[in-house]
Amino acid sequence: MPGADHLVICFSQPSLSARDEARFRAALDLAARKTFGPAISVVRLEGAGTGLVAAMRDARDTGAQHLRIMPVGFPMAANIRAWLPGAIAHFAATEGGDMRIDLADLCNIEDAAQALVALSTTADAQDMQAVRPSLGKPGWQFLPDFDTHILVCTGPRCAFRGAGTLHAQLKARLAKAGLSDRCMTTTTGCLFPCNQGPLLVLYPQGAWYHVPDQDALDRIVCDVIAQGGDAPDLRLSERPGRRRDMSHTKIERIT
Ligand code: FES
């Protein structure tokens, strides 16, 4: 890695338990330290926690001259590969100062596939005859009891725009308002209007809100969820003509 004095490894994995994420972070950090001496950060592109922007700011603020970004995915999704260079360039242009930033090209799907297959042929194996057959736990047939379902986007582009702490902040705010057991919160991958992130969606209202800061979150919890009102300046507007009246549409059953 000639010249780079700071390395940020950013991995992408939409579905990962906290335990596995910690293990993966540690493994990436250990692997990087074997070949790269200077400062290293490991961040995930989705979900909660310190994201890529915070890591780049940290590198800049600690005096990095040349920052190398190393994407890791098995494989990295095509839409992230397409989006990531522009987003990093946007940071470089707006906040990067004199720090040089480059992006490693480690998205070789063939190499990753070969490495994984080679690993799996030597890995321990579990005999399925020794496992109790099951499609799910007994309680999983019941619907959860709640009034409002809140979807919180923690996709890579919302995370880049600061959504890393949104779900935790929302849960804390709902608890403070005494609404925890009336609201179900779900983190999601990309919901599509990424340019308006961070965002959340309320159902059954079907209302989408931009959540730029804690004050906006407070208003959504207090004015919209608790009081049944609205926060019009935070609400994302629909594309004109998007909804079609389906009530008179005759759709024939296939079977
Ligand atoms: S990443 Fe949140 S809407 Fe796309």
Q: What would the pLDDT profile of 162-175 be if each residue is shown by its tens digit?
A: 998 999 999 999 99
The whole-angstrom separation of Cα 63 and Cα 66 is 9
CATH number of 144-226: 3.40.30.10
For 167, counting Cβ atoms within 10 Å of its Cβ (0-12 exposed, 13-18 middle, 19+ buried), the class is buried
3-state secondary structure of 139: helix
Domain spans of the chain?
6-110, 144-226
CA of 205 to the centre of ligand 1 (A): 20
Look at residue 108 in the predicted model and tell me its pLDDT: 65
Determine if ligand 1 sits within 6 Å of the CB of residue 158: yes
Do the domains spanning 6-110 and 144-226 agree at the CATH topology level? no
Determine if ligand 1 sits within 6 Å of the CB of residue 155: yes
Nearest to 4 by CA among 52, 36, 27, 49: 36
Determine if ligand 1 sits within 6 Å of the CB of residue 103: no
| 194-246: pLDDT as tens digits | 999 999 999 999 999 999 999 999 999 999 999 999 999 999 987 777 666 77
Cα-Cα-Cα-Cα dihedral sign, residues 62, 67, 73, 78:
positive
Tell me the chain's radius of gyration from C-alpha atoms. Answer: 22
Cβ atoms of 60 and 26 closer than 8 Å: no
Beta strands in the chain (DSSP E): 6-11, 39-44, 66-72, 100-103, 148-153, 183-188, 199-203, 207-210
CA of 191 to the centre of ligand 1 (A): 5
Count other C-beta atoms under 10 Å from residue 155's C-beta: 24
CATH number of 6-110: 3.40.50.1400
* Atom in ligand 1 nearest the alpha carbon of residue 154: 2
Determine if ligand 1 sits within 6 Å of the CB of residue 201: no
CA of 208 to the centre of ligand 1 (A): 12
Q: Quote the pTM value.
A: 0.83
Look at residue 1 in the predicted model and tell me its pLDDT: 59
